[in-house]
Structure 1
Amino acid sequence: MNNNESTALGIIAGTLVGAAVGLLFAPYKGSKTRQIIADEATLAKNKLESEMATAKDIITQTTIDLKDRVMSNTVSKKQTIEEQLDDIVMDVSHKADDVISTLEKKLTELRVKNKKLQKTS
């Protein structure tokens, strides 16, 4: 036998010996011991169900909170992007006005020059 098999065999033997000694020295009759074990198992089951329900509630609330934060963040980012876009459009609009004004001045200058050229010709 290798070391792992010896260890497993030792654990099994120890468990059986412990169970046998426990039954021999048990303070109650078998039926009462079984009832105590059943009651403890029921209590453990109820506690586990309660903890699972609490965990589910926490997960649900955390999910809702996360969803709300994501939505709020998304709305905030959207507003920021819209504001930036409005600023860009406004800036481009002002620059377009500046370009138009400059072109109008140049056109006026060209008209004046053209008139002078037409008079001299």
Structure 2
Amino acid sequence: MGKESSALLGILAGTAIGATLGILFAPDKGVNTRNKIAEETAHAKDKITERATHLKDNVVNTWASSKATLDEKVESIVTDASHKADDVISTLESKLSQLKEKNKNLQKDKNFQKTV
């Protein structure tokens, strides 16, 4: 985007300078030359305003698109993390259940050995 705006400013500046020099070196009355310069300046201002608005719209659209893409990626990461957390919790609950069963069996064996 930086190269595009630099090129745009260069083109506009060149156009304005060229038009101004063309008017200044044209054989005409001073009043007419000043009027032409004022008209060309107003025209150049309008072009710059139009291009700046277009550039601003492009930046806004690019930013909005990037934000939407970022939001989608964040949502995807959060969803994936949530699923992985559920998987980890399920695995831990299964292991805990197995450990409780082993502990229960060890307690039975311990009690059985005490009674014998």
Q: Structure 1, residues 62-103: CA drift from partner, whole Å, max 9, x if none?
A: 221122122111111111111121111011101101101111
Runs of 4 or more above 3 Å deviation:
none
The offset of 1:61, in angstroms, is 0.9
Query: Which runs of no fewer than 5 residues in structure 2 stay unpaired?
Result: 1-20
Query: Which runs of no fewer than 5 residues in structure 1 stay unpaired?
Result: 1-18, 117-121
Structure number, greater radius of gyration: 1
Aligned to 1:104: 104
Q: 1 or 2 for the larger relative contact order (CA 8 Å, sep ≥6)? A: 2
SS at structure 1 position matched to 2:72: helix
Aligned to 1:31: 31
Aligned residue identity for 2:114? N
Structure-1-length-normalised TM-score: 0.70
Deviation larger for 106-115 or 37-46: 106-115
- The root-mean-square deviation of aligned C-alpha atoms, in Å, is 2.0
Partner Cα distance (1:26, 1:63) in 2: 46
Structure-2-length-normalised TM-score: 0.73
Aligned to 2:50: 50
The offset of 1:45, in angstroms, is 0.3
The size of the alignment, in residue pairs, is 95
Aligned residue identity for 2:113? K
The offset of 1:26, in angstroms, is 3.5
SS at structure 2 position matched to 1:59: helix
